[in-house]
Structure formats: structure tokens, C-alpha cells
Amino acid sequence: MYGITSEEINKIFFPFINPNNIRLSKLQNLYKIDIKVLSLQSHKFMMTVIKKLNDLDTTLSKLSRKKILSLVPTMGSLHKGHISLIKSALKYSDEVWVSIFVNPTQFNDINDYKKYPVNSKEDINIIKSIDQNINIFIPGIDDIYGKKIIRDKFNFDGIDKILEGIKRPGHFEGVATIVKKLFEIFNPNFVFFGEKDFQQTMVIQKIIDGYFEDIKMIICPTIRAENGLALSSRNSLLSKKAKKNISIIYDSLLFAKQNFYKFSAKELKKIIKSNIEKNQGFLLEYFELRCSKTLKICNQGNKQNSSCRAFICVIADGVRLIDNLLIHNEN
């Protein structure tokens, strides 16, 4: 069905999309449509790299709203995880934009912000290698925040106060601040985020529910290295010594999944902590079992916990790494 238009795609797909659980194969089987083709034969222009908000506004104002626009927000230092997000966006869209902006308001430690890996030239080359029709927005701080770099205030019903929120107070308000600004700028149909930052996706969904009801979020699976390590821009900061034993993070999540009914959450944490901290320079910051739908603590004896996810944070030679895994799902 090569003649299908983006407007028809809107009418067909939007009513059936669950923003928390998209499966392209189901849509393809249901409608017998090769989603990759959409109306992309009309998409002739080459990559655009824009660094000024005024220039972006001018470009977006010329875009037909009949086109499906997808946004992939990133902080750069792109890896295979980001690439999978971008490739997923291409399957849904007439127009794909990738934003690259290291957002200062989501950092609690100024030194952490300063040492965050930045290589815009390499990022552009990576995106160009995927598809030359992808567009890139690389704003400066003034374009996003003006003269005052401050976090907006939000109410996330407490989900920002647990897990990452304990050690990083204000982090999710910083994330929400930049995400809300980007959504206002682009007004996308779809936005793409990774499952690795699962707590973040729940915060972003609350932003969407509260301000942008027409935006659909697609959560893409975590991309892992051969040793199971979830890909992250921070992985480049790991020492050679830490890399040798870093598989213990994913191994711990698998252990929790395999022994969900054998041990209590408290026992699982004790075992996992012991195994992790046998490695010199490794420290378990947290390990918790929480409901995938609410982020409330999972009680393994409670049948109402239909979906339980393990969340873990490990500090390896000073590098803080997070991961999560769905370990029990009755649905």
C-alpha cells in the first residue's frame, strides 16, 4: 500500500496506540501495511542541523501539519541505544528531529554536568549514517533557558521522590522542564524514550497527560552490550577494571527474575548486595522491586501485583549506573 498518506496513517494508527506499549508488528499484521514506506517517497529534503531557536521556529512553521513529526530528545554522546530510538522514529514518521542538549537543570552535581561526554560532531555523523533525512537541533543554553537557568515546578504524585529521586532531588523536575520546553517547541506527534530510564518515562507520561494530550510516547526496549550492560553515555567513563566485572548489574536483575518467588525482596537485596560488593570499587546504591504501573513497592505475596519490575543502581569506580528489568508479569 505505497499510496497511503501520512494523514491516513494518523487516522488509522493514533486511536489504537498505547503510549506505554507499542508493538509495530501488531499494527503491521492488523492493517497489512509496510509502515516503513508511509508517504516517505515525498520526503526529499536532506539533513538539517539547526542551532538557533529562531531558525528552528522558521523551519517548523513551513512544515505541513499533515506530516507525522517525531522527536527523539537526547543529551548527545550517542550510542546504539539512541540509534534504536531514531530508527524506531523513522518507522512512524514523515519527519524526524533529534535534539542534542546537555540539560543543566537535571544535574545535582556541577562536576557531573561538566564531565558529561560531549561530541556534537561525532553525534551528527552517527545520525547522518542512519538516514540523511533526519534533522538535528543543537541549541545553546540561552536558547532554552534565556538568562535564568531554573527548574519549573511540577507535581508528579511522589514518583519523583523515590529511587533516582532520593539521591538526585530535583532531577526529574529538571528533566520535565526541558522535555516540556521541547514539546512546546516541536509539538510532535510521537516522542521516543528508552526503557532503561523507566522511572523517567513515567514522569514524562505525566507531563504528556497534563499538558500535551495529543502526543504519544513510544518506549523502546533497552539495548545492551554483550555482557548485558545497558548502554548509556556514562559507560564511556568506566575504568578498565570496572568493565571487567560490570556484567554483575544485569546478572543481578536476572537473578531477581529467576528467584522472584524463592526469596523475599529483602533477601534478594541482601544476596545481590553481597555479590556486587565483592568487586572492589563497586557499591550497591539501591535495589527495589516496584510495580511497573504505579512504582509502588511490590509485595510478592500480593496477587494484585500483576507487573513487577526490579530497579537497581550501582556505583562502579565512581560511575553511577542504573538499570531495570521486568521480572514478573501476569498480563
Distance CA 231, CA 286 (A): 19
Q: Same domain for 155 and 239?
A: no
Q: Which residues contact 220 (CB under 8 A, 6 or more apart)?
A: 84, 85, 88, 192, 193, 194, 195
170: CATH = 3.40.50.620
pLDDT tens column, 79-101:
999 999 999 999 989 999 999 99
314: CATH = 3.30.1300.10
- Retrieve residue 55's grid coordinates: 531558525
| Residue found under cell 539501591 | 286
Q: What percent of the chain lies above the pLDDT cut of 70?
A: 84
| Residue found under cell 516496584 | 290
321: β partners: 314
Q: Provide the pLDDT for residue 331.
A: 64
283: β partners: 315
Strands 307-316 and 319-329: antiparallel
pLDDT tens column, 141-168:
999 999 999 999 999 999 999 999 999 9
Q: Same domain for 54 and 181?
A: yes
Which of 190, 220, 250 is the C-terminal boundary of a domain?
220
| Residue 225 is assigned to a structural domain of this protein | no
Mean pLDDT, residues 301-319: 85
Report the predicted TM-score, pTM, of the whole model to 2 decimal places. 0.84
Range of the domain at 132: 6-220
Q: What percent of the chain lies above the pLDDT cut of 90?
A: 77
Nearest to 168 by CA among 117, 251, 103: 103
Q: Same domain for 237 and 216?
A: no
Q: Same domain for 170 and 39?
A: yes
| Residue 103 is assigned to a structural domain of this protein | yes
In this structure, what are the phi and psi dihedrals at residue 314, rounded to the nearest 5 degrees?
A: -125, 135
Which of 194, 220, 246 is the C-terminal boundary of a domain?
220
Active site residues: 82
Residue 188 to residues 42, 109, 185, 217: CA-CA distances in angstroms? 19, 31, 9, 10
Q: Provide the pLDDT for residue 270.
A: 98
Q: Is the pLDDT of residue 40 over 60?
A: no
Q: Same domain for 192 and 81?
A: yes
Secondary structure tally for the chain: helices H, strands E: 13, 9
Q: Provide the pLDDT for residue 63.
A: 86
Q: CB atoms < 10 A from the CB of 315, how many? A: 15
Q: Provide the pLDDT for residue 89.
A: 97
pLDDT class of 39 with cuts at 50, 70, 90: very low
Nearest to 51 by CA among 134, 180, 143, 187: 143
Domain tally for the chain? 2
Q: Provide the pLDDT for residue 301.
A: 58
